[in-house]
Each structure stands twice: as structure tokens, then as C-alpha cells.
């Protein structure tokens, strides 16, 4: 931990005073944290310790541990009190939430500044930061939705979504299989594959480069919404029509990126190949494709999320009665918004893992690129 002048602990100190003095419940001004029993007191003590540790900015993991304890104890108490204060939170409650959040934020900054150890610990640390970020997103979401009494048909609290996920595993699994394992994977492979091949063909045959690329651009931005019904018309209701939509929407990013990437080789590297009288394919495989890799992975990454969206959107236009898009569209109509969010959560998780896998492969395949060497 460096001695950068953090502002957060000082603000948290103000928060601490507010937590001590102000009421938790505007309907019951007598309820303050110090009067909320052992839990209330432990939050105050933990917060105070964490603030002291953070301000003194000591060289240690102790500050981090204290921050973690205080922030999450605070969150726990806030959630614990949530049913009591729903609809009429007091200023002390807000202070509790905001202070805990601030401490969590300080914790995330601390963790990000830690030099990453090697191996498994490093991986854990890498995952811990986004995990904390996401956890706090959910905590704040839960509190805001419940405290403001937002109707659950608009935005359900994460707890309701979690409960829904727990009770709907078989449905979610079936939908995942239909949409992700069939449509997305097939469409992604074919779309990226053809985009790549066409880029090579276009590169190989300058006539096509001049003739096809402008027209290719025409086809490029066909909106998913427009092609989905046509694909259903052509390929039927089941997943092939969804895969076709995925193909169309992943094709263009791959084409553009590959064409750009193939042009990225340094003049001197090209000259070297010329001196070997390397033929087109040798230059392609040994120089231009490696040099194009960062661009190609760029497309693969963008496409990994695009494919999922495309498949889900395509399912709005006629499907068998299974699939993530099907479920989302019908459950909106049934006002089961928690189920909609459950599907969204699955989609987000699947998409992030997909992206993460592509990113890992990228790191392994383009380790030499300056962006990974630093």
C-alpha cells in the first residue's frame, strides 16, 4: 500500500459520525446503530478500526482485512435491517450504506494496487476484484430497490432473482442448452470461420477485394431484427435459424478486423519475406497471420458477446418453446420479471466465461504483443 493521499477514509470518518448519531428509520427516530444491539456496535467498531488503518496507510494486509470486515459487516447489517426500514429509511441508514460502500471501494483500490503474485494466488486475486465489484453492485441494487419500493415487475431485487434461479435450474439448463450450446456455438464457429475465410479470399484476390468488400459492407450491417424473421422463414423454427442469425452478425466484425490485421505487418518484415521469395501462403502463415492475431482476437472477443445477443434476440421471432430468448420474451409477458433476470444472469455469466476463455487464448497466442509484454 502506498502513501497516496486517499480521500476515502476521511469521508468514511464523517460517515462514521453520522452512523452513530442519526436514526436508521425515519418512522422510528429512536432506532440508531448504537441502540441496535451487538450487531450495531460491532459495525461501529469495525468501521472505526478500518478507518484508522486506512488513514495510517500501514504497509500491510491488516488494513485490507479490516476494510473487508468493516465493509461487509456493514453490508450485512444494512441488509438485515432492510425489511424494517423499507420505504422509510433514516439518514443513519443511508450513512451506514454509503460508508460501507466507501470502505469496499477503498478495499478494491488497495487490492488493485497489490502486485500480482504468480500462479493460483494471482488468479484468485484477479477474480476477487471483479467479484467484489459485482457483489457490491448487487448489494446496492437490493437496497435501492427495496428501500425505494420499486415494483418488482419493473426491477426485482437480486434476492428474488437468486431465489428464482435456485428453483428454476432445470428450465434454465434446458434454455442454455438450446440457445448457447446449439445456436451460439454453431453460429459463432461458422460466422467467425467464414468471416475469416472470406477475408483471406478477398485478400488473395484483389479483384474481389475491390469488388466484394464494398458490397460486403452492404450486407454487413443487416440488422438482426430484420433478418431474424427471414431466417425463421428459411431455416425453420429450431436453432438453425438462430445460428444463421449469429452467423450473419459475427461475420462482419471478423471480416473487417482480419482484413485490417492482414495489412498490419511491418514493411521490413514483409521485405524479409520477399527476400526469401516466400509465396503468398508462406507469407500469410508465417508473417501476416501472426501479425494479424491481435486484430483477429479483437473480433473474436467482440463476437463472443455479440453472438449471444444475436441468438437471444433471434428467439423473439418464432421458436420452439425452449431457449433463453423465448423465455425472456414470454416471461416478460407473464410479468415474471425475476425469471427474465434469471435468464439475463445466466446469459451474462455464460457470455463472460466465453469472453474470458477467448481472452485467455488470446494471451497465450499473442504473448509477444507489446500489450502483454509490459
E-strand ranges in 133-209 read none
Lookup: cell for 305 = 458477446
Distance between CA atoms of 293 and 64, rounded to whole angstroms?
A: 39
Nearest approach in angstroms of CB 142 to another protein is 17
| Residue from 11, 306, 342, 364 in contact with another protein (CB under 8 A) | 306
How far, in Å, are 9, 106, 184, 255, 302 from residue 191 at the CA level? 50, 43, 10, 10, 13
Footprint (CB under 8 A) of another protein, residues 231-250: 232-234, 236-237, 249
| Residue from 244, 252, 288, 342 in contact with another protein (CB under 8 A) | 252
Do the beta carbons of residue 249 and residue 288 sit within 8 Å? no
271 binds another protein (CB under 8 A): yes
Give the largest Cα separation in the chain, rounded: 87
Nearest approach in angstroms of CB 93 to another protein is 24
How far, in Å, are 151, 199, 229, 316 from residue 251 at the CA level? 40, 10, 19, 21
153 binds another protein (CB under 8 A): yes
How far, in Å, are 256, 284, 293 from residue 260 at the CA level? 6, 14, 11
Footprint (CB under 8 A) of another protein, residues 316-345: 316-321, 324-326, 328-330, 332-337, 340, 343-344
How far, in Å, are 59, 202, 281, 318 from residue 208 at the CA level? 62, 5, 18, 36
Residue placing its CB nearer to another protein in the complex, 111 or 200: 111
Neighbours of 298 (CB within 10 A): 19
Footprint (CB under 8 A) of another protein, residues 133-152: 133-134, 137, 151-152
Footprint (CB under 8 A) of another protein, residues 77-116: 108-109, 111-113
Nearest approach in angstroms of CB 7 to another protein is 14
Residue placing its CB nearer to another protein in the complex, 8 or 99: 8
Nearest approach in angstroms of CB 38 to another protein is 32
Task: Count interface residues toward another protein (CB under 8 A).
Answer: 117
| Residue from 72, 182, 288, 301 in contact with another protein (CB under 8 A) | 301
Amino acid at each position: 500500500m502506498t502513501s497516496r493521499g486517499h480521500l476515502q477514509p476521511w469521508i468514511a470518518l464523517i460517515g462514521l459520525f453520522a452512523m452513530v448519531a442519526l436514526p436508521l428509520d425515519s418512522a422510528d427516530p429512536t432506532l440508531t446503530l448504537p441502540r441496535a444491539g451487538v450487531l450495531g456496535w460491532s459495525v461501529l467498531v469495525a468501521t472505526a478500526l478500518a478507518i484508522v488503518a486506512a488513514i495510517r496507510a500501514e504497509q500491510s494486509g491488516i488494513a485490507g482485512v479490516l476494510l473487508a470486515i468493516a465493509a461487509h459487516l456493514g453490508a450485512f447489517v444494512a441488509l438485515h435491517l432492510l425489511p424494517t426500514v423499507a420505504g422509510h429509511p433514516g439518514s443513519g441508514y443511508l450513512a451506514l450504506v454509503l460508508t460501507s460502500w466507501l470502505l469496499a471501494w477503498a478495499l478494491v483500490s488497495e487490492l488493485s494496487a497489490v502486485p500480482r503474485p504468480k500462479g493460483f494466488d494471482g488468479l484468485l486475486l484477479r477474480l476477487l476484484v471483479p467479484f467484489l465489484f459485482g457483489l457490491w453492485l448487487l448489494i446496492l441494487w437490493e437496497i435501492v430497490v427495496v428501500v425505494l419500493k420499486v415494483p418488482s415487475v419493473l426491477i426485482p431485487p437480486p434476492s428474488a432473482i437468486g431465489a428464482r434461479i435456485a428453483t428454476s435450474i432445470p428450465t434454465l439448463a434446458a434454455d442454455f442448452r438450446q440457445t448457447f450450446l446449439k445456436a451460439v456455438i454453431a453460429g459463432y464457429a461458422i460466422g467467425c470461420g467464414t468471416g475469416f475465410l472470406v477475408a483471406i479470399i478477398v485478400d488473395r484476390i484483389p479483384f474481389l477485394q475491390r469488388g466484394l468488400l464494398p458490397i460486403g459492407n452492404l450486407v454487413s450491417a443487416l440488422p438482426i431484427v430484420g433478418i431474424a424473421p427471414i431466417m425463421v422463414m428459411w431455416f425453420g423454427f429450431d436453432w438453425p435459424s438462430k445460428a444463421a442469425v449469429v452467423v450473419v452478425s459475427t461475420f462482419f466484425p471478423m471480416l473487417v478486423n482480419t482484413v485490417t490485421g492482414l495489412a498490419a505487418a511491418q514493411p521490413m518484415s514483409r521485405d524479409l519475406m520477399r527476400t526469401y521469395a516466400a509465396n503468398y501462403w508462406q507469407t500469410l502463415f508465417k508473417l501476416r497471420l501472426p501479425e494479424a492475431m491481435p486484430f483477429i482476437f479483437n473480433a473474436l472477443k467482440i463476437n463472443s458477446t455479440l453472438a449471444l445477443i444475436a441468438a437471444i434476440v433471434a428467439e423473439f421471432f418464432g421458436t420452439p418453446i425452449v431457449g433463453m430468448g423465448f423465455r425472456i420474451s414470454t416471461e416478460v409477458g407473464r410479468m415474471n420479471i425475476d425469471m427474465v433476470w434469471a435468464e439475463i444472469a445466466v446469459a451474462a455469466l455464460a457470455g463472460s466465461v466465453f469472453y474470458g476463455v477467448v481472452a485467455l487464448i488470446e494471451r497465450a497466442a499473442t504473448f509477444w504483443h507489446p500489450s502483454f509484454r509490459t
